[in-house]
Amino acid sequence: MGIFATLHKEHILIREQLDQMTQAVGLIEENKLPPRDFFDKSLEFGRTYTNKHHHFKEEYLLFSQLAQKYEGSIDAVVEKLRNQHELGQNHLSDLSANLGGYERGESECVSKVRHHLSEFVRLMEVHIFAEDAVFFNMAKELMSQEEQDALQSGFEAYENGQGEDPTPRCKKILEEARAILESMKPQEI
Ligand SMILES: [Fe+2]
Ligand SMILES: [Fe+2]
């Protein structure tokens, strides 16, 4: 699989997390608070899969190679994408910091958790769309097949250096998080 197909495929799993988070926002707004366990799983997915597995390959391999080669001309685009990664992480850290109060039902913390969840989803949806529909196509045009193949080897070297492929475990985490949300739906009789 080529580098862009790999990143695109990873986006599909990340979108599943965003979909769950959107549902969680809806539940909070109905005053049905998803349990702490849901957020712990979602945050673990964010750390392990989105940040470490996916963003690392984008930032330290794809973005830096392009920025180096096209000195200056694509800096603004790359900088914007990097900033969005960082802003997303900040939302997740702030969300995590409010989970104690959320669990105790403190209204300010509940509202902050809702805010950071919905802002994270909004940001990441825009970000993933920009990568899939614009940036990856642009990068594909700019890079020769040899450069793409070399980057593919870089992706593989990074993944091998990380040890076991986190994908099956991260899929399971998402399934478990999904099951928590499903269990909150009213049971049909
Ligand atoms: Fe990204
Ligand atoms: Fe991405």
Alpha helix (H) residue ranges in the chain: 3-29, 36-45, 56, 64-69, 75-97, 99-103, 107-130, 136-142, 145-161, 167-183
Is there a domain that residue 188 lies in? Answer: no
Compute, in angstroms, the gap from residue 58 CA to the centroid of ligand 1: 6
What separation in Å is there between the alpha carbon of 127 and the centre of ligand 1?
6
For residues 162 and 110, the model is more confident at: 110
Which ligand does the CA of 87 lie closest to?
A: 1
Ligand 2 centroid–CA 34 distance in Å is 27
Q: What is the share, in percent, of the chain residues with pLDDT greater than 70?
A: 98
Residue 148: pLDDT over 70: yes
Residue (of 144, 140, 177) closest to 6 by Cα position:
140
Residue 121 lies in a domain: yes
Query: Contact, 121 vs 91, CB < 8 A?
Result: no
Q: How many domains does the chain have?
A: 1
pLDDT tens for residues 49-82? 999 999 999 998 999 888 888 777 788 889 999 9
What is the distance in A from the centroid of ligand 2 to the CA of 92? 16
d(CA 124, ligand 1 centre) in Å = 8
Q: Please give the pLDDT value at position 74.
A: 80
Q: Kindly give the distance from the C-alpha atom of residue 37 to the centroid of ligand 1, in angstroms, as a whole number.
A: 26
Q: What is the CATH number of the domain that holds 24?
A: 1.20.120.520
Q: Is residue 8 part of a domain?
A: yes
Residue numbers of the domain that contains 132: 3-183
The encoded tokens of residue 136 equal 């990856």
Sequence-separated (6 or more) residues with CB below 8 Å from residue 94: 112, 116
Asked, for residue 140, whether it belongs to a domain, the answer is yes
pLDDT at 188: 66
Distances 117 to 110, 112, 148 between C-alpha atoms, Å: 11, 8, 35
Any idea which residue has 């990143």 for tokens? 7
Between 127 and 138, the higher pLDDT residue: 127
- Altogether, the residues listed in the chain come to a count of 189
Task: Kindly tell me if the per-residue pLDDT of 167 is higher than 70.
Answer: yes
- The answer, as to whether pTM is greater than 0.85, is yes
Distance 28 CA to ligand 2 centre (A): 27
- Most distant CA atoms of the chain, gap in Å: 63
Q: Does 189 reside within a domain?
A: no
Any idea which ligand is nearest the CA of 132?
2
Distances (CA, A) of 189 to 27, 185, 186: 21, 12, 9
Q: Cα of 57 to ligand 1 centre, how many Å?
A: 9
The pLDDT of residue 179: 98
Distances (CA, A) of 114 to 36, 88, 151, 162: 13, 14, 38, 33
